[in-house]
Chain A
Amino acid sequence: MSLSMTYEGVEKVFDPEGRNPVRALNSVSFTIEPGELFCLLGPSGCGKTTLLRCTAGLESITGGKIYYGERDVTTIPPFRRNIGMVFQSFALYPHMSVYENVAYGMRVRKVPEETIRTKVTEIMDLVGLPDVLKRNPSPTALSGGQKQRVAVARALVYDPEILLLDEPLANLDAKLRRRMRAEIRRIQKVTGITTIFVTHDQEEAMAIGDRLAVLRDGNVEQLGSSGELYHEPQNAFVANFIGKMNFFHGNVASAAGANRESPVRIGNELEIRPHSERIKLEGPLSPGQDVLVGARPENLSITNVSSAAGEAGGSGGGIVGRVNVIQNLGQITRYEVVVDDAYAIDALEVDMYAPVDGVTEGDEVAVQVNGEKALLFAPETVADTVAEEEEVS
Chain B
Amino acid sequence: MAADSTRTQTESRIERLLQKDWTPYLIFALPLLFLVLFLFWPLATTVLRALSGPGFDIDLGNLSLENFNRFVTSPMYQRSLRNSFVVSVSSVVFASLIGLPMGYFVARVKMPFKNLFLSIGILPIIMPSFIGAFSWVILLGRQGIIRHFLNQIFMPFGIVIPSIYGLWGIIFAMSLTYFPFVFLLSYGAFSAANPMLEEAAMMMGARRPRIMRTITLPLVIPSLGAGAILVFIRSMGNYGIPAILGGDQYVLPTLTYFRVTGFWDLNSAAAIAMVSVAITGAALLLQKYVISRREYETVSSSRSEQHLHTHWLARLIAVAYCTLVLIVAMLPNITIIIMSFFEQWRGLFPTGFTLENYLRIPRMVSSEIFNSLFLSITASFITAVLGCMVAYITERRRPKGAVILDLAVMAPFILPGIVVSVALLSAFSGDTVLPLGGTFMIILIAFVVRRTPYVFRSVVASLTQLDETLEESSMIMGANWLYTFRRVTLPLIMSGIIAGTILTFATLLQELSTTILLYSARTRTVPVRIFSAVQDGYFGQGAALSVMLLVTVFIVVYAMNRMLGRSISSSFKLG
Contact with A along B420-436 (1 / 0, CB 8 A): 00000000000000000
- Contact A80 B470, beta carbon cutoff 8 Å: no
Question: Is B480 part of the contact surface with A, judged by Cβ < 8 Å?
Answer: yes
Q: Is the CB of A87 within 8 A of B478?
A: no
Chain A residues closer than 8 Å to B478, beta-carbon distance: 79-80, 82, 105, 108-109, 158
Contact B474 A104 (CB under 8 A): yes
Q: Smallest distance from the beta carbon of B213 to chain A beta carbons, Å? A: 42
B-contacting 9-mer, from A91-99, A225-233, A332-340: A91-99
Q: B interface, by DSSP: helix, strand, loop or mixed?
A: helix
Give the residue of B16, B21, B477, B492 whose beta carbon is less than 8 angstroms from that of A108.
B477
Give the shortest distance, in Å, between A265 (CB) and chain B (any CB): 53
Q: Which of B12, B467, B473, B475 counts the most chain A CB atoms within 10 A?
A: B473
Chain B interface residue bracket vs A: 20 to 34
Determine whether the beta carbon of A87 is less than 8 Å from that of B492.
no
Known contacts A89-B467, A93-B488, A95-B492; A158/B477 CB under 8 A? yes
User: Within the assembled complex, what's the spacing in Å between the Cα atoms of A83 and B20?
Assistant: 18
A85 contacts partner chain B, Cβ-Cβ < 8 Å? yes
Which listed residue, B470, B475, B488, B492, touches A77 by the CB 8 Å rule?
Answer: B475
- In the bound complex, do residue B19 and residue A76 qualify as a contact, i.e. CB atoms below 8 Å apart? yes
Residues on B with beta carbons closer than 8 Å to the beta carbon of A77: 19-21, 475
CA distance A108 to B476 in the complex (A): 11
CA distance A58 to B477 in the complex (A): 12
Q: Which residues of A contact B15 (CB under 8 A)?
A: 75
A155 to chain B, nearest CB (A): 8
The answer on a CB contact under 8 Å between B467 and A91 is yes
Residue B574 at the chain A interface, CB threshold 8 Å: no
Is the CB of B472 closer than 8 A to any CB of chain A? yes
The yes or no answer to B74 lying at the interface (CB within 8 A) is no
Quick check: is B112 within 8 A (CB to CB) of the other chain?
A: no
A154 at the interface (CB under 8 A from B): yes
**A87 in contact with B472 (CB, 8 Å):** yes
CB <8 Å contact, A105 and B488: no
Let me know if B479 and A91 touch, CB within 8 A: no
- Point out the residue from A81, A87, A105, A108 that lies within 8 Å of B469, measured CB to CB: A87
State whether the Cβ of B483 lies closer than 8 Å to any Cβ in chain A: yes
CB atoms of A83 and B476 under 8 A apart: yes
On whether A94 and B472 interact (CB within 8 A), knowing A77-B19, A158-B477, the answer reads no
A84 CB–B CB distance under 8 Å: yes
- Assess whether B491 is interfacial by the CB under 8 Å rule: yes
Contact of A80 among B16, B19, B474, B492 (CB under 8 A): B19
Bound CA span A197–B491, Å: 31
Closest residue of chain B to A72 (Cβ to Cβ) is: B12
Pick the contact of B472: A58, A76, A80, A104 (CB < 8 A). Answer: A58
A158 to B473, CA, bound (A): 13
The chain A residue with its CB closest to the CB of B480 is A79
Q: Among residues 47 to 73 in chain A, which have CB atoms less than 8 Å away from a CB atom of chain B?
A: 56, 58
Which B residues are CB-close (under 8 A) to A104?
A: 474, 477, 479, 487
Inter-chain contact A108/B488, CB cutoff 8 Å? no
B401 to chain A, nearest CB (A): 15
Contact indicator per residue, chain B 10-27, by CB within 8 Å of chain A (1) or not (0):
001001100111000000
Inside 8 A of B483's CB, which chain A residues have their CB?
Answer: 108
User: Which residues of the other chain, B, contact A164 by a CB distance below 8 angstroms?
Assistant: 476
Q: How far is the CB of A10 from chain B (nearest CB, A)?
A: 17
Say whether A78 faces chain B, with CB atoms less than 8 Å apart.
yes
Bound together, the chains give a CA A261 to CA B543 distance in angstroms of 104
Q: Which residue from B20, B473, B475, B492 sits with its C-beta under 8 Å from A94?
A: B492
What residue in chain A is nearest B476 (Cβ atoms)? A85
Interface residues of B in 32-73 (CB under 8 A from A): none
A74, closest chain B residue (CB): B16
Per-residue CB proximity of A99-131 to B under 8 Å, as 1/0? Answer: 000001100110000000000000000000000
Q: Which residue of B lies closest to A94 (CB)?
A: B492
Checking A75, A95, A105 against B477 with a beta-carbon cut-off of 8 angstroms, the contacting residue is A105
Binary contact readout A157-170 vs B (1 if CB under 8 angstroms, 0 otherwise) = 01000001000000
Residue of B472, B474, B478, B483 with most partner-chain A CB within 10 A: B478
In the complex formed, the residue of B with least CB distance to A77 is: B21
Chain A residues with CB under 8 A of B473: 85, 87, 91
Within 8 A of A (CB), among B338-379: none
In chain A, residues 140-161, which have Cβ atoms closer than 8 Å to a Cβ of chain B?
Answer: 154-155, 158
Contact flag A89-B469 (CB < 8 Å), given A79-B478, A79-B479, A82-B478: yes
Interface contact A79-B19, CB-CB below 8 Å: no
CB distance from A350 to the nearest CB of B (A): 43
Q: CB < 8 Å: which of A78, A93, A94 contacts B476?
A: A78
In the complex where A87-B469, A91-B469, A93-B470 touch, is A154 in contact with B477 (Cβ < 8 A)? Answer: yes
Give per-residue flags for B432-472: 1 if the beta carbon is below 8 A from chain A beta carbons, else 0: 00000000000000000000000000000000000101101
Check A75/B16 contact, CB under 8 A, given A82-B478, A84-B477, A108-B479.
yes
Complex alpha-carbon distance, A387 and B480, angstroms: 44
Contacts of B470 in A (CB 8 A): 91, 93
Q: Bound complex: CA of A110 vs CA of B489, how far in Å?
A: 20
> Interface code B245-281, partner A: CB below 8 Å = 1, 0 otherwise?
0000000000000000000000000000000000000
A78 to B483, CA, bound (A): 14
Q: What distance in Å separates the Cβ of A29 from its nearest Cβ neighbour in chain B? A: 21
How far is it, in angstroms, between the C-alpha of A94 and the C-alpha of B487 when the chains are bound? 12
Are A75 and B476 in contact, with the CB atoms below 8 A? Answer: no
Report B-chain residues with C-beta under 8 Å of the C-beta of A91.
Answer: 467, 469-470, 472-473
Residues of B within 8 A of A105 (CB): 477-478
B474 contacts across to A, CB distance below 8 A: 104, 108
CB distance from A317 to the nearest CB of B (A): 55
Chain A proximity of B399: nearest CB distance (Å): 14
Q: Which residues of A contact B (CB under 8 A)?
A: 56, 58, 75-85, 87, 89, 91, 93-95, 104-105, 108-109, 154-155, 158, 164
A-B contact pairs, 11 of them (CB 8 A): A58-B472, A75-B12, A75-B19, A79-B475, A84-B476, A91-B469, A91-B470, A91-B472, A94-B492, A104-B487, A109-B478
Please give 19 more A-B residue pairs, beta carbons under 8 A apart, in addition to A85-B473, A91-B470. A58-B475, A77-B19, A77-B20, A79-B479, A80-B19, A80-B478, A81-B476, A82-B478, A87-B472, A89-B467, A93-B488, A95-B491, A104-B479, A105-B477, A108-B474, A108-B478, A108-B479, A108-B483, A158-B478
Q: Which 3 A-B pairs have the closest CB atoms?
A: A105-B477, A91-B473, A91-B469
